[in-house]
Amino acid sequence: MSDEKLISPSGGHQGMILVVEDDQNTAALVAAYLQREGFATTIVHDGGAAVAVARECVPVFVILDVMLPNVEGWEICRTLRSFSDVPIMMLTAREEELDRIAGLAMGADDYLVKPFSPRELVERVKAILRRSRPAPARPDLLLSLDGLELDPVKLRVTRDGRPVALTGSEYKILLALMGAPGRVFPREELLNHCYPKGEAVIDRVIDVHIGKLRQKIEDDPARPRFILTVRGYGYRFSDE
């Protein structure tokens, strides 16, 4: 089995879910149900590629089959937990209690036995995400990192004590990103922050706003420290 991966161009306002499953029919079915709920999906059929794809795509959730070519799901789960707290659901054809305990002990958040209902899988995913996602930033809480400060009460942004003049859209984007450092925001979600009434704009307008923001807050916009690009997906604010 090759280390093929498929990145879905549809959906995505709920975040991207990585589906690691060697059975192509099962993977396609799971992805279809997730996309109906607004999730983007990346499918990997080979265990050997799963960790590298997870590092590159920064998913909000991982659905991980236990029995995979090259590297078993147990090992992938253990490796993911060494650098990420992304929620993980294990899929397996075995019902033994020891398997469920092993998966949970290695850091999995849930365990689903095949054959399963795709609708149940989606509802479990949504429930886990509701519990695991950080609460939104308090509207009165000063946000600060390495000299960059955003005061939501005074609607003011400063860098090393100097005021930074932002447009309304730039401010809304920065507020969303700084309010959830480390979380990846797809362009569509950032569009919703900027244009909540659903104005007709292309998603690449976010790239323009991000470029201008970087010019105003970064020491070197070509090598940003604050607003980081997640290739092919969106942006996140540094959590380091």
- pLDDT greater at residue 41 or residue 195: 41
Q: How far apart are CA 163 and CA 165, in angstroms?
A: 6
Q: How confident is the model at residue 184 (pLDDT cuts 50, 70, 90)?
A: confident
**pLDDT > 90: what percent of the chain?**
37
C-alpha distance from residue 22 to each of 44, 61, 77, 138 (Å): 7, 18, 16, 42
Residue 11 in this model has a pLDDT that exceeds 50: no
Q: How confident is the model at residue 13 (pLDDT cuts 50, 70, 90)?
A: low
- How confident is the model over 128-141, as pLDDT tens digits? 887 766 555 555 57
Query: Strands across the sheet with 162-163, in order?
Result: 143-145, 148-151, 156-159, 162-163
Rounded to the nearest integer, the mean pLDDT of the chain is 83
- How confident is the model over 16-52, as pLDDT tens digits? 899 999 999 999 999 999 999 888 899 999 888 899 9
Domains of the chain: 5-132 (3.40.50.2300), 143-237 (1.10.10.10)
Q: Give the pLDDT of residue 164.
A: 93
- How confident is the model over 88-105, as pLDDT tens digits? 999 987 766 666 666 677
Q: Give the pLDDT of residue 136.
A: 55
Chain CA centroid to CA 178, Å: 15
Q: Is the pTM of this model over 0.75?
A: no
Q: Give the pLDDT of residue 7.
A: 42
Cis peptide, bond prior to residue 181, ω within 30 of zero: no
Residue 107 in this model has a pLDDT that exceeds 70: yes
Q: Are 12 and 40 in contact (CB under 8 A)?
A: yes
Q: Give the pLDDT of residue 221.
A: 93
The mean pLDDT value for 113-128 works out to 91
Residue 202 in this model has a pLDDT that exceeds 50: yes
